[in-house]
Amino acid sequence: MATAEHTLKSPAAGTAPAAAAEPPARSIGSEASRRVLRFVAIFRVAVGIVMLVIAFGFRNPQLLGIRDTALFLVTATGYCLFAVLLLVWQWRRPVIMPRLVLIELLIDVLAISLLMHASGGVRSGLGVLMVVFVGAASLSLQGRQAFFASAVAALAILAEQGLRVLEHGAPSGDFVAAGVLGAIIFMIASAAYPLARRLEESEALARQRGIDLANLAQLNDYIIQNLRESIVVVDAANRVRLINQSAAEHTGIRTREPGQDLAQLAPHLHRMLRDWRRQGNPLLQPPSFLSADGSTRINAYLAPLGGGDDGPVLMFLEDAGLLSQKVQQSKLAALGRLSASIAHEIRNPVGALSHASQLLEESPRLGADDRRLIDIIRTNSRRVNEIIENVLQLSRRETSRPELIYLAGWTRDFAAEFSSTLELHEGQLGITSTEDVEVRVDPSHLRQVVWNLCENAIKYGSSNGGIAVEIGFGRLPGSRRPYLEVSDCGAGIPDEMREQIFEPFATGRSGGTGLGLFISRELCECNRAALVYEARRGGGSVFRIVFADPARWEN
């Protein structure tokens, strides 16, 4: 979690300013001030264009510039050019600096004052424009600067009126209108400043909340991506909306960008989801499937998000090997506790029964029926003894001693030994390979596992006539992990037995102990390998050992 905390945004940047102290540059990062300045820039251009239109288009009768037409035309032209250049410079992101805003406001006051003077003073009504500019500037300036700007605007109006009185003998009663306009400007500045403070505090609070929400979203994303549980969320159109790293590894999805089509990213997962939607039963669990690297089986649990099954779906992908491993470990612990009792309490009586049957068989007075019963006793005694040996082997299993092995030479030697021991004919055990690979495994464990798999294939794979067992090895296409597999052409394993074949004492064949595959998987796990089963195309079974990459083996 420390990593996630270091990557979170610092909320200090969005902390609201204290009400008691006035910050030195409180408007520099205000988005509200930027919007106001952008609006003022547009308004300034509009004022300049209107002044030019009036100057050139309304000369007879003349609306503005009555007192000094040349001054009005020059001022309007310069002011319009200034407004356009300022708008182009600050259009995308206005620069909010108190000094710059103050300079812009002083230029506005000067230009409006000149336009007023050329148009007859306060009676022209142009002084009202100063109210807009002063009020807008007060939203971006500090308190004393805002009042200074309003004082400059009021004094400019009074100075223009005084100049008219001196030059043209204007009525002194216009001073009242000029004073009222100056007072209005002061009132606007006084009202705009606290409003700006409130807007700024609200914006800072919103920014703080936005940072908190961004941190929470980032933390949630970190937690989801690093969950051990695999999670996939798809919408009603079967587009991936969310997938974490664990789910991407299980399904073989290389991109985690939202909005991708599930049918293109993971066709097998899309088929499973489509079949689940068709059945219309949200409580029904879909069948398990092999992971992308072929090393384990994945259980899928689907839950609709919202109303029906045709809407968004949340998929939990669970490594079936982890669950079965916990169950097997508990069973193994129970077997370990019982192994000593089995050895003493069962093995000795079974040995006595077997010895008694051998002595009884030597009697010359036994008939055919009696000898058949003796054969039954001896067969079942050997079976019970085999079960005891397997249980004892589990309880005293030693740690692995891994070595580097090249599968091409090892498989060739194993096939020769196995064929010779079981007296197989030529062609009954074949070897197929894509490339020679190196694995790190305990040779004795590997021999025991492959011998058990081949022996099961010989025993149960001849039901379709003839014996055909193949040993193949190479690297998996996706993960490039080395593998070795044993396949046969028999009847395969029934669907109802596929989830239990690696559990202790699970057998669907008469005469089997149900411990061979369980021991084989345990030995594989000791060597950081995985033993998985899948049905063979055309009938039969494939048992695949997926080894750990020796290049990544921890010393």
Residue 447, CA distances (Å) to 192, 195, 301, 545 in order: 88, 84, 37, 12
Domain count for the chain: 4
Do both 415 and 458 map to the same domain? yes
CA distance 361 to 186: 126
Q: Whole-angstrom Cα distance, residue 101 to residue 323? A: 68
Together in a domain, 407 and 542: yes
Q: Among 346, 372, 395, identify where a domain stops.
A: 395
Q: Is residue 12 domain-resident? A: no
pTM above 0.75, yes or no: no
Is 388 found in the same domain as 415?
no
Tokens matching residue 513: 């102990």
Is residue 222 domain-resident? no
The 8-class DSSP code of residue 311 comes to S
**Residues 98, 137: Cα–Cα separation, whole Å:** 9
If you count them, how many residues does the chain have?
Answer: 555
pLDDT tens-place values along the chain, 555 residues long? 444 444 444 444 344 444 334 443 343 345 666 777 777 788 888 888 888 787 777 766 666 767 777 888 888 888 888 888 888 887 766 666 777 777 887 888 888 888 877 777 777 777 777 777 777 777 776 667 777 777 777 777 777 777 777 766 666 666 677 777 777 877 777 777 677 677 777 777 887 888 888 888 888 777 777 776 788 888 888 888 888 877 887 777 777 777 788 888 888 888 888 888 888 777 777 777 777 666 677 888 888 887 666 788 888 887 776 666 666 566 666 666 666 566 667 777 777 777 787 777 777 777 777 777 888 787 777 777 776 766 666 565 556 788 899 999 999 999 988 888 888 887 788 888 878 889 999 888 898 899 889 988 888 766 555 567 889 999 888 778 899 999 988 878 887 777 778 877 666 665 556 678 888 888 888 888 888 888 888 788 899 999 987 665 544
- Local structure of 377: helix, strand or coil: helix
Same domain, 93 and 203: yes
Query: Smallest Cα–Cα separation from 174: which of 213, 234, 123?
Result: 123
The answer on 184 and 145 residing in a single domain is: yes
Same domain, residue pair 251 and 327: no
Domain finish residue from 167, 193, 216: 216
Residue 533 is assigned to a structural domain of this protein:
yes
Residue 64 shares a structural domain with residue 139: yes
Residue 518 covered by a domain: yes
| Region label for 48, one of left (φ > 0), alpha (ψ between -120 and 50) or beta (otherwise) | alpha
Q: Cite the DSSP H helix spans in 226-288.
A: 245-251, 262-265, 267-279
CA–CA separation, 15 and 336 (whole Å): 63
Alpha-carbon distances, residue 424 vs 414, 467, 472, 516, 543 (angstroms): 13, 9, 18, 21, 21
Residues 473 and 524 in one domain: yes
The last residue of one of the domains, among 304, 320, 336, is: 320
Domain coverage including residue 368? 323-395
Q: Are 113 and 40 contained in the same domain?
A: yes
The residue assigned the tokens 């007192």 is 67
CB 421 within 8 A of CB 451: no
* Strand duo 297-304 + 289-290: pairing: antiparallel
Domain match, 242 and 339 both: no
CATH assignment at residue 407: 3.30.565.10
Q: Indicate if 436 and 509 belong to the same structural domain.
A: yes
Q: Residue 469, Cα to own-chain centre: how many angstroms? A: 44
Assigned domain for 4 exists: no
Residue 112 lies in a domain: yes
Distances (CA, A) of 115 to 49, 79, 160: 13, 10, 10
| Residue whose C-alpha is closest to residue 490's, from 517, 510, 464, 451 | 464
* CA 303 vs CA 11, 280, 298, 441: distances in Å: 37, 12, 16, 41
Q: Are residues 437 and 375 in the same domain?
A: no
Q: Is residue 15 part of a domain?
A: no
**CATH number for the domain that contains residue 306:** 3.30.450.20
Q: Looking at the domain assignment, is residue 362 inside a domain?
A: yes
